[in-house]
Structure 1
C-alpha cells in the first residue's frame, strides 16, 4: 500500500475500533483488567464532610485530633501487544488474512486501553524481534501503532515465540497486560511462557484460517510452507490425507491450550471469518 492507502485504512480502522472500544469494550476492559486499586498516600486533618471510615485512629490518638488517610488510585497499567508478523500471518482464504484480523484486534485493544488511561506498547516478531515500540499514552501513539501494523515489512519469515518472550521478559520490568497474537506455528515456548505468566497478565490470541483446519478436496495440489519455503505435492481429495491434515491442526491447537494452561495464562482462539467482537466480549465478561 502507498501512503494515501495506508492513511485511508488507518482512518477506517480508527473509526471502527474506537467505536467498539467506546461503546462495547470500555466497561468490559476495565472490569477484566482492574488496576491494583487504591494505595495510601498521606494523612491530613479531618474536615467536615470527610468519610469517617477513612479516619486513621493511630494518628488520631497520637495527636488527640482526628486525622484521615488519603488514598490515591495506583498508576495506570501498561498493555503490551506481541504481534506475529511472520510469513504465515498473511495467509487467509475466506474473509481476511490473519494479519488483517490481528491489526483490527490490536486497534480495538489499544483504544480500550487508552480509554482506561493505560499505556500501550508493541513488539513485532517473526523468528526474532523485528521492532519494539515502547509503551506510551495517547491517541496519536495508537494511530502510529496502527500505521506500523499496516505497513511494517518483516526481514524474516519464520516464527520464534520463545525468544520473543525472552526479549519481552528482559525489556519489561513492571507487571503488564500482555496480548500475544499469533497463529502459534512455532517450536516450543513453554519455559519462556511460564516465566512471563508469573510476572505478567498473559493472554494468548490464537488466530487461524478455516483452511488451516480443513483441506478442501480439489485433487492434486502443490502445497508450500510460507515460512520455510518447503513444497510438496498432495492429493487433497484423499480421505486419509484430509484426516491427517485435520489431526495435525487439532494437535497443534491442543499443544497451545496445554502450554497456556500449564503456565496459568489464558488463550482464546478466533477464526479469520468469525466475529471477533463476540469472542472478546465473552472473554472480558468471563474475566470480570
Structure 2
C-alpha cells in the first residue's frame, strides 16, 4: 500500500508539474512590497480601490513572494478516520500528504509531517528530499487510529513554530478554534460519502472507534434522516466558521481525485 500510494502521488505531481517553473503554492506567503500606479492592460481586479480614492489615481498593491516556503502537513489523529466503504479515509489522507509533500520538494520548499492526538505522535523534521515522502506515507498508514481522539492542544503546539503554510487534515466532526493559529492555514476535510448519506436499514452492529465497544442497533428511516440532518447542521456550522475567519478549505471524499481537489484549492 505504501508503494502504491507513493507512486500514484508522485506520478500525478511530476506528470502535471513537469516543466513548470512556479510552485503550486505560488501566491501563498506573500509580503507587501509597495504601492504603485495601475498600468494599462493590467488586471483591474488588483486595484486597491480604497487607496486609489485617497490618492485620486488607480493604485495596485505589489507583493513579493517569500523565497522559501515552510510547509507543515498536520493530521488530527482520531479513531473516526479509520473508516471507508471502498477506500479508508487514512489512505486518502496518505495520498493527500504525498501529493503535498512531492509538490513542496519539487519546487525546493521545506515540508514536514505532524501526526497529533493529545500530543505529537510523530513529528518529522522539515525536508527538501523526495526520499522522505514515502516515510510520510508510511507513518500515516501505520499509525494506530482506533481508540484515539485528538484534542485542541495541537494549536498551542503548532504556534511554537515559525509562521508556515499549514495543511490541517481531519474529518472535523468537532470544531477546533482554528482562528487562534498564527499560520496560514488550509483545512482539508476528508470524508467518506457514506458517513453523510447512510442507507443501511434494519439491525446493524456499530463499533465506537474511540472505545472499541460494539453496539447493536436497529436503524429505521426516521433515525437515518435525523442523523443526516445532524451531520448537515454540524458541517454547516463549521463551514460558516471557516468562511467567517477566511480560512480556505476543501472537502475531499474518499472516492474523489485528491490531486484535482487540491489543485482547485490552490487556484
Under a length normalisation based on structure 2, what TM-score does the superposition of the two structures give? 0.78
- Which consecutive residues of structure 1, in runs of 5 or more, have no partner in the other structure? 1-8, 39-71
1:221 is displaced (CA, Å) by 1.6
Q: How many angstroms apart in 2 are the aligned matches of 1:163 and 1:123?
A: 13
**1:24-63 alignment to 2 at 5 Å?**
24=16, 27=22, 29-33=24-28, 36=31
Greater Cα radius of gyration, structure 1 or 2 = 1
RMSD, aligned α-carbons: 2.6
1:13 is displaced (CA, Å) by 2.6
- After superposition, the Cα gap between the structure-2 partners of 1:124 and 1:275, relative to the gap in structure 1 and judged at 3 Å, is same
Q: How many angstroms apart in 2 are the aligned matches of 1:255 and 1:28?
A: 33
- Which consecutive residues of structure 2, in runs of 5 or more, have no partner in the other structure? 34-63
1:259 is displaced (CA, Å) by 2.8
DSSP 3-state at the match of 2:87: coil
**1:120-269 alignment to 2 at 5 Å?**
120-153=111-144, 157-160=148-151, 162-170=152-160, 172-173=161-162, 175-186=163-174, 188-190=175-177, 193-196=178-181, 199-229=182-212, 231-236=214-219, 238-269=220-251
Query: How many residues are treated as equivalent by the alignment?
Result: 235
- After superposition, the Cα gap between the structure-2 partners of 1:223 and 1:252, relative to the gap in structure 1 and judged at 3 Å, is same
**Alpha-carbon deviations, 1:206-255, whole Å to 9, x = none?**
1111221122233122323212445544332x221011110121122113
DSSP 3-state at the match of 1:31: coil
- After superposition, the Cα gap between the structure-2 partners of 1:111 and 1:102, relative to the gap in structure 1 and judged at 3 Å, is same
1:28 is displaced (CA, Å) by 6.4
**Alpha-carbon deviations, 1:61-117, whole Å to 9, x = none?**
xxxxxxxxxxx9854111101113322111011x20100000000000110011111
- After superposition, the Cα gap between the structure-2 partners of 1:147 and 1:223, relative to the gap in structure 1 and judged at 3 Å, is closer
More helix by share: 1
Q: How many angstroms apart in 2 are the aligned matches of 1:239 and 1:28?
A: 48
Q: How many angstroms apart in 2 are the aligned matches of 1:154 and 1:233?
A: 22
- Which 10-residue stretch deviates more, 175-184 or 14-23? 14-23
- Equivalent in the alignment of 1:78: 70
1:277 is displaced (CA, Å) by 2.5
**Alpha-carbon deviations, 1:42-74, whole Å to 9, x = none?**
xxxxxxxxxxxxxxxxxxxxxxxxxxxxxx985
Under a length normalisation based on structure 1, what TM-score does the superposition of the two structures give? 0.73
- After superposition, the Cα gap between the structure-2 partners of 1:245 and 1:73, relative to the gap in structure 1 and judged at 3 Å, is closer
1:155 is displaced (CA, Å) by 8.6
**Alpha-carbon deviations, 1:138-192, whole Å to 9, x = none?**
11222322222222335951122x211221112x12x211111101133x422xx
Q: How many angstroms apart in 2 are the aligned matches of 1:168 and 1:116?
A: 24
Matched, 1:104 2:95: yes
